[in-house]
């Protein structure tokens, strides 16, 4: 089928700049890509869309030489190429502007040195003429209409947007054929994003092929020529943006399976379980207030870097607070360490489950009993039988797929590991559950199980805070949604009010009606006075 | 065919990892028994156990620090300090036995506390912090004795002779017999068993292992990682002090620098222990086993009249073999996932 698609394209389009055909990639037993297809024309902006885990980042990492595909061929200007390393990709003229720009910038070097960084390694120049590199850097930045950046200052002092510009300039120095933008606008303000769009237009005009990855649908429709939607490691469809319909694209991204799994539920909301007032951590979090009632699932939604994980950790005593009060079931709780939070009835399912939630080399049963070991060692020794019984209980209840309760967790899939990370709290009978991106890297089947479990918890009168950047999932599971942007809660939406578009708007720092503006301004002033 | 071969190889590695150390031990015992009549005797085995008792105590302390993903290089010096302090309390100050036993243990607690302060509070990496402490404590114990070993009624630098002697009761700890085994062997066996039960069958042991396995996850499961690490280093200090007391009682004098040569041997015993019964991590029984393998090997080689200066080659060889089995197995176990 892949070849048919290719030949069809081949007839339609003369000489594609880049063609990736039938790309397959596995990590251990996990299939990241299977039969993935992607074409790019000269002077085209081609967006790749897909939910987390769809395989976008794997695909672009293969294109930029970070990973090598197991199957499939990459053609550049009609010739098959092999990209063994990031260096090989650069030599072919393929450059990547990473989302985490800081990983690619040497902050102690000047802007000019950063722009020409790769040339130092490339040529055998023993001496570097400061004059020459400054001139060359100025010239490239001029092409990008970014003359305002002083090429002699240290890169450490640049803003994020400026650092991005430096990376684009670096690609231009080498007359890049392809530039990959990986979520370039995620950390940018709206004004900065617009400036980036004009730069991309300029690159287009010069014949550079641009691959554009973004979660923000409106901007994808604004600047792309074509859109390729991926799901579960494969191509779903490639659209011409001019003829594409936003709802159709979203449906293609989500797939049918998930959208009707999450039906709204009728729920009884009890008394307030968690009341947080004016919480700040002196760094990311500014003056947050929120409540969670018994039997309620509250979604906390924001883009990457909005401060969701920081909030979850701060509530759980993982990071210190500079101000604010936390009340649990009406009583003020002093939470200085996760141990205090657990005693107060809280449970955290952290975002990085392998790093923060689990002991992956230990057995399932040792993981499951750990938060509540006292229960399993009533006398002096640990009661291995009780431990095993509890492990079997959560295996059955959460439908965990495993050989036995002794199996080390490394041998379980991501979804099953996540279920253990959730299940280990059940023996404590906690009253408030904090889920931080619980569906990250989890397959659809496990996702559905996890959602069911969260619903069950809520129905049995527990409170749940659901932190997520997967907007559609948060809408599905939550009874109420708080939108975070830049360390603050900027909007509260009821289930009825919440739509993907509205949430995305607030989450990216936008405002809906004019009337909202003063409110937001006031919030900002408050946070300054603290 | 090819698959069959690889599964044979796989099984061989599985077997080596689980039973390799035990098989090696049985082989060594069998080999020496066939060569020498005096090897496989009750008396010789009781000698071997007595000779490894001090190293095993040191190694148990190191085991606790390795369990929490730390390391304690200062155990040798701590043992030396405890050796001279326990001797001096009797010889110089003529103190009663209970003080002679308690004070060195308190010194062990103190060294452990300083170690954990440097590591947990200041944040010096464990290897470097305990390396510094190794020098400081070694220097302290030499300064304390002014470089002399301590023995009964020794002449003092201030003139005259020391008033005290090592008491009979104290010497019994190192030299006595009880129920057919030397007292140091009983002490060692009790401590090995106690460490095993604590590490493998109690809540505290679980917390220690989990802290070592993933400190971040342990914290978010409600464990105070700092307290746990503090405890591990204190336990290590106490074990080192016990080894020092035992050494004094065994030798009958307070030798200086008694612990330094034993430190690396203790560390080797712990790492050989990783490979016992497929543990792949520090564990009390494995540590005892590691010390026993090395002890038996050295005993047999002595009987064979191998020159003593070649012994370190054997020790190193055993360590390398044990580590190779452990790490090859770990690589396979986790890459398969």
Are A357 and B220 in contact (CB < 8 Å)? yes
Predicted pLDDT at B53: 94
- Give B246→chain A minimum CA distance, Å: 29
Distance CA A294, CA B95 (A): 65
* pTM, entire model: 0.73
- Percentage of residues in chain B having pLDDT higher than 70: 96
For residue A3, give the 3-state DSSP assignment. Answer: helix
Interface membership of A371 toward B (CB under 8 Å): yes
* A301, burial (CB in 10 Å: exposed 0-12, middle 13-18, buried 19+): buried
Are B334 and A28 in contact (CB < 8 Å)? no
Instruction: Report CA A220 to chain centroid distance, whole Å.
Output: 17
Interface membership of A181 toward B (CB under 8 Å): no
Mean pLDDT of A32-48: 90
Residues 6+ apart with CB under 8 A from A280: A286, A287, A288, A321, A322, A323, A324, A527, A530
- Give A315→chain B minimum CA distance, Å: 12
For the complex shown, is ipTM > 0.95? Answer: no
Answer yes or no: is pLDDT of A522 > 60: no
Is the distance from CB of B128 to CB of B135 less than 8 angstroms?
no
Q: In what order do the strands lie in the sheet with A323-328?
A: A288-293, A272-280, A323-328, A331-332
Predicted pLDDT at B83: 95
Distance CA B7, CA A485 (A): 54
Could you give the C-alpha distances from B72 to A207, A521, B60, B76, B102, in angstroms and in order?
62, 56, 11, 9, 22
**Nearest chain A alpha carbon to B217:** A356
Cα torsion through A45, A51, A57, A63, rounded to 10 = -40
The DSSP element (H or E) to which A140 belongs, if any, is helix A130-143
Q: Which residue, among B221, B280, B336, would best test binding to A if mutated, counting the most A CBs under 10 Å from its CB?
A: B221
* A296, burial (CB in 10 Å: exposed 0-12, middle 13-18, buried 19+): buried
Answer yes or no: is pLDDT of B104 > 90: yes
Distance CA A424, CA A416 (A): 12
Interface membership of B194 toward A (CB under 8 Å): no
Are A339 and B224 in contact (CB < 8 Å)? yes
Are A318 and B219 in contact (CB < 8 Å)? yes
Are A318 and B220 in contact (CB < 8 Å)? yes
Interface membership of B203 toward A (CB under 8 Å): yes
Answer yes or no: is pLDDT of B87 > 90: yes
A439-483 confidence digits (pLDDT tens)? 877 766 778 888 888 988 888 888 999 998 888 788 888 889 999
Is the distance from CB of B148 to CB of B92 less than 8 angstroms?
no
Instruction: Report CA A280 to chain centroid distance, whole Å.
Output: 24
For residue B308, give the 3-state DSSP assignment. Answer: helix
Interface membership of A362 toward B (CB under 8 Å): yes
3-state SS of A287-315? CEEEEEECCCEEEEECCCCCCHHHHHHHH
Are A357 and B202 in contact (CB < 8 Å)? no
Interface membership of B331 toward A (CB under 8 Å): no
Answer yes or no: is pLDDT of A350 > 50: yes
B157-194 confidence digits (pLDDT tens)? 777 787 888 888 899 998 988 998 999 999 999 999 99
Interface membership of A381 toward B (CB under 8 Å): yes
* Helix axes B311-335 and B2-35, enclosed angle (nearest 10): 160
Are A373 and B207 in contact (CB < 8 Å)? yes
> In A, which residues are within 8 Å of B203 by CB distance?
373-374, 376-377, 382
A164-217 confidence digits (pLDDT tens)? 888 888 888 888 899 999 888 766 777 778 888 888 998 888 889 999 987 677
> In B, which residues are within 8 Å of A370 by CB distance?
206, 210, 221
Cβ-based contacts under 8 A for chains A and B: 71
- Give A387→chain B minimum CA distance, Å: 12
Are B334 and A382 in contact (CB < 8 Å)? no
Distance CA B166, CA B83 (A): 12
Predicted pLDDT at A375: 84
> In B, which residues are within 8 Å of A359 by CB distance?
210, 213-214, 217-218
Residues 6+ apart with CB under 8 A from B5: none
Task: Read off the pLDDT band of B49 (50, 70, 90).
Answer: very high
Are A411 and B217 in contact (CB < 8 Å)? no
Give the sign of the dihedral formed by CA B112, CA B115, CA B117, CA B123. negative
For residue A317, give the 3-state DSSP assignment. Answer: coil
Partner-chain residue, chosen from B202, B213, B220, that has the shortest CB–CB distance to A350: B220
- Give B8→chain A minimum CA distance, Å: 22
The DSSP element (H or E) to which A190 belongs, if any, is helix A190-205
Q: Rounded mean pLDDT of chain A?
A: 81
Distance CA A311, CA A318 (A): 10
Could you give the C-alpha distances from A434 to A298, A308, A347, B274, in angstroms and in order?
10, 11, 6, 38
Distance CA A259, CA A255 (A): 7
Pairing type for strands A94-97 and A178-182 reads parallel
Task: Read off the pLDDT band of A6 (50, 70, 90).
Answer: very low
A233-281 confidence digits (pLDDT tens)? 888 889 998 888 877 887 787 665 454 455 666 666 778 888 888 888 8
Mean pLDDT of A366-385: 86
Look up residue A103 and give its DSSP letter.
G
> In B, which residues are within 8 Å of A376 by CB distance?
203
Are A355 and B337 in contact (CB < 8 Å)? no
More confident residue, B49 or A147: B49
Predicted pLDDT at A127: 67
Mean pLDDT of A324-339: 88
Interface membership of A374 toward B (CB under 8 Å): yes
- Give A357→chain B minimum CA distance, Å: 5
B243-287 confidence digits (pLDDT tens)? 999 999 999 888 999 988 899 889 999 988 888 877 778 999 999
Partner-chain residue, chosen from A338, A343, A359, that has the shortest CB–CB distance to B213: A359
> In B, which residues are within 8 Å of A338 by CB distance?
219-222
Residues 6+ apart with CB under 8 A from A496: none
- Give B235→chain A minimum CA distance, Å: 19
Interface membership of B214 toward A (CB under 8 Å): yes
Partner-chain residue, chosen from A338, A343, A382, that has the shortest CB–CB distance to B219: A338
Partner-chain residue, chosen from A339, A350, A361, that has the shortest CB–CB distance to B222: A339
Nearest to A440 by CA among A356, A330, A315: A356
* Helix axes B75-91 and B126-145, enclosed angle (nearest 10): 20
- Give A328→chain B minimum CA distance, Å: 18
């Amino acid at each position: 089928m892949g070849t048919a698609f290719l030949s069809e394209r081949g007839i339609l389009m003369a000489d594609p700049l880049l063609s990736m055909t039938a790309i397959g990639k596995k990590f251990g037993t996990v299939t990241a890509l299977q039969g993935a297809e992607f074409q790019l024309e000269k002077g085209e902006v081609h967006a790749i869309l897909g939910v987390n885990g769809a395989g976008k980042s794997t695909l672009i990492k293969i294109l930029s030489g970070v990973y090598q595909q197991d199957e499939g061929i990459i053609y550049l200007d009609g010739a098959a190429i092999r990209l063994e390393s990031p260096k090989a990709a650069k030599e072919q003229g393929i450059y990547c502007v990473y989302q985490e720009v800081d990983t690619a910038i040497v902050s102690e070097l000047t802007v000019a040195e950063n722009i020409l960084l790769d040339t130092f390694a490339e040529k055998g120049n023993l001496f570097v003429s400061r004059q020459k590199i400054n001139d060359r850097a100025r010239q490239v930045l001029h092409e990008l209409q970014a003359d305002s950046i002083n090429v002699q200052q240290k890169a450490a002092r640049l803003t994020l947007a400026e650092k991005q510009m430096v990376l684009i300039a670096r690609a231009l120095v080498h007359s890049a054929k392809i530039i990959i933008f990986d979520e370039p606008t995620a950390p940018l303000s709206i004004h900065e994003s617009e400036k980036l769009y004009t730069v991309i237009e300029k690159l287009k005009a010069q014949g550079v092929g641009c691959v554009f990855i973004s979660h923000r649908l409106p901007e994808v429709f604004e600047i792309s020529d074509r859109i390729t939607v991926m799901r579960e490691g494969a191509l779903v469809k490639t659209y011409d943006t001019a003829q594409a319909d936003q709802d159709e694209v979203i449906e293609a991204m989500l797939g049918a399976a998930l959208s009707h799994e999450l039906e709204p539920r009728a729920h009884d909301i009890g008394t307030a379980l968690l009341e947080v007032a004016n919480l700040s951590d002196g760094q990311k979090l500014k003056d947050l207030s929120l409540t969670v009632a018994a039997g309620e699932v509250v979604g906390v939604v924001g883009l990457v870097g909005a401060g969701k994980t920081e909030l979850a950790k701060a509530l759980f005593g993982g990071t210190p607070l500079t101000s604010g009060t936390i009340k649990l079931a009406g009583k003020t709780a002093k939470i200085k360490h996760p141990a205090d939070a657990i005693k107060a009835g809280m449970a955290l399912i952290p975002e990085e489950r392998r790093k923060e939630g689990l002991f992956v080399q230990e057995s399932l049963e040792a993981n499951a009993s750990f938060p509540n070991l006292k229960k399993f060692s009533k006398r002096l020794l640990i009661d291995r039988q009780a431990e095993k019984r509890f492990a079997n209980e959560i295996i059955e209840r959460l439908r965990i797929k495993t050989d036995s309760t002794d199996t080390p967790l490394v041998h379980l899939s991501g979804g099953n590991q996540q279920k253990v990370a959730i299940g280990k709290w059940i023996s404590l009978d906690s009253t408030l559950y904090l889920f931080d991106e619980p569906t990250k890297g989890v397959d659809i089947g496990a996702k559905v199980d996890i959602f069911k479990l969260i619903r069950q918890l809520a129905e049995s009168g527990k409170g749940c805070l659901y932190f997520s950047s997967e907007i559609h999932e948060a809408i599905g599971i939550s009874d109420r949604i708080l939108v975070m942007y830049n360390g603050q809660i900027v909007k509260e939406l009821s289930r009825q009010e919440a739509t993907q578009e509205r949430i995305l708007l607030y989450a990216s720092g936008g405002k809906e009606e004019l009337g909202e503006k003063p409110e937001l301004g006031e919030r900002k002033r408050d946070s300054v006075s603290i | 065919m090819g698959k069959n071969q690889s599964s044979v190889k796989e099984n061989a590695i599985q077997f080596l990892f689980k039973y390799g150390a035990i098989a090696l031990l049985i082989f060594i015992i069998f080999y020496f028994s066939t060569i020498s009549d005096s090897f496989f005797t009750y008396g010789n085995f009781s000698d071997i156990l007595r000779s490894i008792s001090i190293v095993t105590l040191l190694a148990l302390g190191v085991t606790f620090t390795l369990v929490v993903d730390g390391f304690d290089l200062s155990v040798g010096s701590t043992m030396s300090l405890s050796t001279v302090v326990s001797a001096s309390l009797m010889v110089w100050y003529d103190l009663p036995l209970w003080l002679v036993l308690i004070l060195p243990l308190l010194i062990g607690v103190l060294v452990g506390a300083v170690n954990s302060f440097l590591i947990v509070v200041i944040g010096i990496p464990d290897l470097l912090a305990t390396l510094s402490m190794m020098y400081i404590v070694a220097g302290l114990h030499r300064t304390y004795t002014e470089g002399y070993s301590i023995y009964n009624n020794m002449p003092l630098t201030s003139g005259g002779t020391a008033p005290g002697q090592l008491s009979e009761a104290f010497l019994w700890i190192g030299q006595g017999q009880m129920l057919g085994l030397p007292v140091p062997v009983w002490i060692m066996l009790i401590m090995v068993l106690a460490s095993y039960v604590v590490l493998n069958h109690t809540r505290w042991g679980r917390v220690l292992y989990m802290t070592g396995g993933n400190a971040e996850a342990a914290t978010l499961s409600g464990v105070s990682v700092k307290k746990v690490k503090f405890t591990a280093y204190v336990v290590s200090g106490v074990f080192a002090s016990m080894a020092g007391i035992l050494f004094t009682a065994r030798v009958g004098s307070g030798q200086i620098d008694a612990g330094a040569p034993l430190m690396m041997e203790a560390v080797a015993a712990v790492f050989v222990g990783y490979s016992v019964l497929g543990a792949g991590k520090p564990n009390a029984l494995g540590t005892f086993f590691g010390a026993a393998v090395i002890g038996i090997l050295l005993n047999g080689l002595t009987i064979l009249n191998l020159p003593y200066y070649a012994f370190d080659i054997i020790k190193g060889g055993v360590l390398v073999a044990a580590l190779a089995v452990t790490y090859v197995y770990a690589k396979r176990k986790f890459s398969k996932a």
